[in-house]
Amino acid sequence: MKAPVDTRLRWLRARVAFLAFLLLSGGVLVARRAYELQVEHDDTLREMAEDQYLKNVHLSPKRGTIYDRNGAPLAVSVGVESVYANPRVMRRAQVPVDRAARDVAVTLGVDFETMRKRFAQDRAFVWIKRQVTPSEANAVRKLGIKGIELTHEAKRFYPNRELASHVIGMTNIDGKGLEGVERSLDERLTGATHTIPAIRDNRGQIVFSEKLLDDRTALGDDVILTLDKTLQSVTERELELGVRTFEAQAGSVVMIDPSNGEVLALANFPTFNPNDPSHFSAAARRNRAVTDRYEPGSTLKPFTVAAAIDRRTIRSDQAIDCGDGQMQVAEYTIHDTHHWSVLTPAQVLAQSSNIGAAKIGATLGREGLYRALRNFGFGEKTGVLLPGETAGILRHYRRWYEMDAATIAFGQGMSVNTLQLAVATAAIANGGRLLHPVLVKRLNLPDGGTELVDPPETRHRVVGGGTARLVTDMLTAVTSSNGTGSEAAVDGFLVAGKTGTAQKHDYIGGGYADGKWVSSFVGYLPAEKPRLVIAVMIDEPTIAHYGGSVAGPVFRRIAEASLRHLGVAPRHAPDLRRTKLTRSRPATEHAKAAPTTEGPVVTESAPVGVGRTVVPSFEGMTLRAALAAARARGLEPSVDGSGVARAQQPAAGAVVDAGTRVRIRFEPPHDVAGDVHGVDVSGGTAAMASSTGGVAP
Q: What is the 3-state secondary structure (H, E, C) of 509-563?
A: CCCEEEEEEEEEEEEEECCCCCCEEEEEEEECCCCCCCHHHHHHHHHHHHHHHHH
> 296 and 261 share a domain?
yes
> 292 and 268 share a domain?
yes
Residue 696 has pLDDT above 90, yes or no: no
> 548 and 646 share a domain?
no
Strand partners, 265: 255
What's the confidence (pLDDT) of residue 692? 36
Residue 562 lies in a domain: yes
Residue 24 has pLDDT above 90, yes or no: no
**CATH code for the domain in which residue 463 is found:** 3.40.710.10
What is the rounded CA–CA span in Å between residue 154 and residue 131? Answer: 8
What's the confidence (pLDDT) of residue 610? 52
Q: Which of residues 279 and 587 earns the better pLDDT score? A: 279
Residue 506: name the closest of 296, 270, 690, 289 by CA: 690
Residue 641 lies in a domain: yes
What's the confidence (pLDDT) of residue 201? 55
DSSP line for 76-100: EEEEEEEEEE-HHHHHHTT--HHHH
The parent domain of residue 153 ranges over: 58-225
> 518 and 396 share a domain?
yes
**pLDDT band of 601, cuts 50, 70, 90:** very low
Average pLDDT of the residues of the chain: 83
What is the rounded CA–CA span in Å between residue 12 and residue 472? Answer: 123
Looking at 392-457, which runs of residues are DSSP E strands? 433-435, 440-444, 450-451
> 423 and 310 share a domain?
yes
368-402 pLDDT, tens digit per residue, is 999 999 999 999 999 999 999 999 999 999 999 98
On whether the CB atoms of residues 634 and 658 are closer than 8 A, the answer is yes
> 519 and 647 share a domain?
no
What is the rounded CA–CA span in Å between residue 27 and residue 612? Answer: 114
- pTM score: 0.74
Name, of 123-132, 411-420, 478-487, 613-622, the range with top average pLDDT.
411-420
> 216 and 362 share a domain?
no
- Rounded to whole angstroms, the maximal C-alpha distance in the chain is 160
Q: Which of residues 155 and 658 earns the better pLDDT score? A: 155
614-645 pLDDT, tens digit per residue, is 788 888 887 777 877 887 788 878 777 667 78
Residue 623 lies in a domain: yes
Residue 312 has pLDDT above 60, yes or no: yes
Q: Which residues touch 78 (CB under 8 Å, ≥6 apart)?
A: 154, 155, 157
Hey, what long-range contacts does 174-178 have (CB within 8 A, 24 or more apart)?
175/63, 175/77
> 411 and 551 share a domain?
yes
On whether the CB atoms of residues 497 and 530 are closer than 8 A, the answer is no
What's the confidence (pLDDT) of residue 551? 96
DSSP line for 563-618: HHHHTPPPSSPPPGGGS--SSHHHHHHHHT----S-SPPP-------TTEEEPPP-
Q: Work out how many domains the chain is built from and give that number.
A: 3
On whether the CB atoms of residues 311 and 188 are closer than 8 A, the answer is no
Active site residues: 298
Q: Which of residues 10 and 568 earns the better pLDDT score? A: 568
Q: Which residues touch 65 (CB under 8 Å, ≥6 apart)?
A: 73, 75, 76, 77, 222, 223
> 346 and 366 share a domain?
yes
What is the rounded CA–CA span in Å between residue 305 and residue 348? Answer: 9
**CATH code for the domain in which residue 207 is found:** 3.90.1310.10
Cβ neighbour number for residue 458 with a 10 Å cutoff = 14
Residue 26 lies in a domain: no
659-675 pLDDT, tens digit per residue, is 788 888 877 764 434 44
What's the confidence (pLDDT) of residue 648? 83
What's the confidence (pLDDT) of residue 591? 35
Residue 6 lies in a domain: no
**pLDDT band of 686, cuts 50, 70, 90:** very low
Residue 600 has pLDDT above 60, yes or no: no
> 404 and 472 share a domain?
yes
> 510 and 382 share a domain?
yes
DSSP state of 146: T
What is the rounded CA–CA span in Å between residue 205 and residue 195? Answer: 16
Residue 293 lies in a domain: yes
Residue 229 has pLDDT above 70, yes or no: yes
Residue 361 lies in a domain: yes
> 322 and 189 share a domain?
no
Residue 281 lies in a domain: no
